[in-house]
Structure 1
Amino acid sequence: MPSTFLGLVLLVVCLVPGFVYSAARDTVLPERTSSAFRETTRVVLASLALDTLALAVFGALRATAPGITPDVGRLVREGWGYARDHYLALAWWSLAVLAVAAVLGAGAARLLPRGAGPVTVESSWWLLLGRYPAEAGAKSAYVGCELVDGSYLGGTLKHFAHQAEETGDRELALVAPLEYRPQPGQPVRPLTGHQLVSVSARQIKFLTVTYLDHVPTDAPRPEPRGESTA
C-alpha cells in the first residue's frame, strides 16, 4: 500500500480504467457476486492492461509528434524540477491518457465476449428473457406468470432483474396488454386500467415466455413466434 497521500491518489487514479471496465461489464452481462479478492484482482489486472494500452498510444503519439507531448526523458532525469516547470501540460496529458484508458475499458467491456465453458453463471431469467430473445431476433416477449396462489398474470415484458443469483428478491415488470386470472379454473380476462405491473419471484410458481416478432399494443394478444417455459 502507498505510504503517502500522493501515492494513494496515484494508485486510485491508475485503477479507474479497471473500475470502468468492471462497471460497464455488469451493464451488458448478468451481475455476478464475487469475493473481494477476485473482484479486486479483476480491477487491478484490467487497469494494468488498459493503462499499458493507453501509454502505448501516448508513446506512438510522442514518437510521431514530439513537439506537442511532454518530454518523458526529461521528466525522468529532472524529476520535480521538470514537473514544476511544465505542470499544466503534464496535468492535461495525464488526464488525456486516463480518459483514453477509461474509454478503452468501456469499449472492451462491451465488445469482448465472455469465454465459453461448461459452467455458466447466467440465470434462467437472463437466458429466457435476455439472451434467447436476442438470438431469436425477437422484438418483444410475452411472459405468463403462474403464481403460487394459483392465480395467473401475463403481459409484455418491460424489464427484469439481471443478477445471476436466482433469489426470491428478483422482480420483473410487465406492460399492457395485461391478462389476469384470479383463481384456477376461471377464464383469463384482460386487466384493463393499468399500464404496468411488477411481479416478485417469490410469488411465481413457473413462467412461460413467448417470443414475438413485433411489439404488441394494448390490444388482444398477438400470435406467438416461439415459446419457452421455465
Structure 2
Amino acid sequence: MPTSLVSVTIFVLLVLPGIALELLRQRSRPGRADSVFVETARVLLGGAAVTVGTLLPLGLIRTAAPAVMLNPRQLWIEPRYVADHLWLTLWSLVLFLLVSLTLAALCYALLPAPGLAGNVHMESAWVFTFNRLPQRLYDQQDASSPGFGIRTQLQVELTDGTAYLGVRDTYSADAALVDRELVLAPPLHVRRAEGPFEPLEPGWQRIIVPASQIRSIMVRFTRGAPSATASQLRGRRTTRFLAALVTDPQRLAVILGLEILIPLALGIFLRQL
C-alpha cells in the first residue's frame, strides 16, 4: 500500500474525531472568534486524545481476535494488503470511526464546559423564534389531528411608524442581519402611522420587509394551517434525538461497550471454529 495513501488515511482518521469533538463542544459555549491556529490546535489535540483512546480497545480486539481486525504491520509493509484484504480493511476503518466518534461524544457528555448549562446555538433570534420555538410548541401539542401545524403570526413595526400584520412565510437566515428580508403572507393588514390596522386590497399575496427598516417584531403562535408542514416538523425529530443522545453518558457508554464487545465476541467465536 503506498505510503502516501497510508499517511493521508491516518491523518483523516486523526482529524475526524477532533472535528466531531470540537463541533460538539461549540454547542455548549458562547460564540467567539478564535484564531485559525487555536481552532486547528484544538482539533488536532482533541483528535489525538480520542484516537489514542480508540486504539486501546481496538488493540485489545486485535490481540484477542485477530480475525476481525486488520494487521497494521502488514498494512504498512505489504503493497497489496488492502487489495487482498479489502473487506477486512473497510470493516476495520468503519469500526475505528464508530468507536472514535462515540468516544468523542462521550467525552463531550462527561466533560461539559464549566458553568454552562444547556446548548448554545450559533444563530440569531430570528432562527430561534421562527424555527426552533414553533418546533418546541408543536412537540408539546397533540399532533394526531390531520392538518395540524403551528401558524406564526407577525406584527412588524417599521422605523417610519408603519406596521404590517400577516403570517410569516419565509425569511433569509443565511445573510447578515441588516441584509435579511422577511416575507409576510395573507391575511395581510397594514397600519399607517397611528391609525388602526386595515386589510390590504384583495389580490396582494406577499409583503417583503427589509430587516434594515424593522424596529420590532411581535410574534404570536396559533394552531392552524402550518407555516412549516407537519412532515417537515416531524423530519427534525431524528436530529433532536441525536442531539439528546450525545448528552446522555449512560447511553453512549452502552453503545461504546457494544461496539467493542460485539467484534470481540465475533472474533473469539471465529477463532474457535
User: What range describes the TM-score normalised by the shorter chain of this pair?
Assistant: 0.5 to 0.7
Displacement, 1:157? 5.4
Structure 2 residue 84 is the aligned partner of structure 1 residue 84: no
Structure 2 residue 120 is the aligned partner of structure 1 residue 125: no
Structure 2 residue 213 is the aligned partner of structure 1 residue 211: no
Any idea what SS the aligned residue of 1:84 has?
coil
What residue identity is the alignment partner of 2:179? D
Q: Percent identity?
A: 24
| Partner residue in 1 for 2:167 | 155
* Larger RCO (CA within 8 A; separation ≥ 6): 2
| Partner residue in 1 for 2:145 | none
Equivalents in 1 of 2:127, 2:110: separation in Å?
Answer: 19
1:179 aligned residue (171, 188, 192) = 188
| Partner residue in 2 for 1:34 | 33
Q: Which structure dedicates a bigger proportion of its chain to helix? A: 2
User: Is the 2:153–2:219 Cα contact (8 Å) retained in structure 1?
Assistant: yes
User: Is the 1:30–1:162 Cα contact (8 Å) retained in structure 2?
Assistant: no
Equivalents in 1 of 2:112, 2:132: separation in Å?
Answer: 13
> How is 1:193-208 mapped onto 2 (pairs within 5 angstroms)?
198-208=208-218
What residue identity is the alignment partner of 1:200? P
What residue identity is the alignment partner of 2:160? D
Equivalents in 1 of 2:29, 2:204: separation in Å?
Answer: 29
Equivalents in 1 of 2:181, 2:25: separation in Å?
Answer: 21
> Is there any run of 5+ residues in structure 2 with no aligned partner, and where?
142-149, 228-273
Q: 1:111-150 CA deviation, whole Å, 9 max, x = no partner?
A: 89985539x7764435544555555547443222212233
Equivalents in 2 of 1:143, 1:65: separation in Å?
Answer: 63
Q: State the superposition RMSD in angstroms.
A: 4.8
> How is 1:87-166 mapped onto 2 (pairs within 5 angstroms)?
87-88=82-83, 89=85, 91-93=89-91, 95-97=93-95, 99-100=97-98, 104=102, 117=116, 123-136=124-137, 137=140, 139-153=150-164, 154-156=166-168, 158=170, 161=173
Equivalents in 2 of 1:206, 1:156: separation in Å?
Answer: 14
What residue identity is the alignment partner of 2:215? K
Given the two structures, how large is their TM-score scaled by the length of structure 1? 0.57
The number of aligned residues is 203
After TM superposition, where is structure 1 displaced by more than 6 Å over at least 4 residues in a row? 23-26, 28-31, 105-108, 110-114
Equivalents in 1 of 2:174, 2:212: separation in Å?
Answer: 16
Q: 1:77-113 CA deviation, whole Å, 9 max, x = no partner?
A: x6733x43523437424542464268649977x9899
Equivalents in 1 of 2:174, 2:30: separation in Å?
Answer: 6
User: Is the 1:156–1:178 Cα contact (8 Å) retained in structure 2?
Assistant: no
Any idea what SS the aligned residue of 2:178 has?
coil
User: Is the 2:183–2:206 Cα contact (8 Å) retained in structure 1?
Assistant: yes
Moved more, 181-190 or 55-64: 55-64
Equivalents in 2 of 1:6, 1:57: separation in Å?
Answer: 21
Displacement, 1:205? 0.7
- The alpha-carbon distance between structure 1 residues 68 and 23, as it changes in their structure 2 partners (threshold 3 A), is same
Q: 1:6-51 CA deviation, whole Å, 9 max, x = no partner?
A: 646643452134445656888x899956322343244334433554
> Is there any run of 5+ residues in structure 1 with no aligned partner, and where?
219-230
User: Is the 2:70–2:89 Cα contact (8 Å) retained in structure 1?
Assistant: no
Equivalents in 1 of 2:226, 2:75: separation in Å?
Answer: 67
Equivalents in 2 of 1:159, 1:29: separation in Å?
Answer: 27
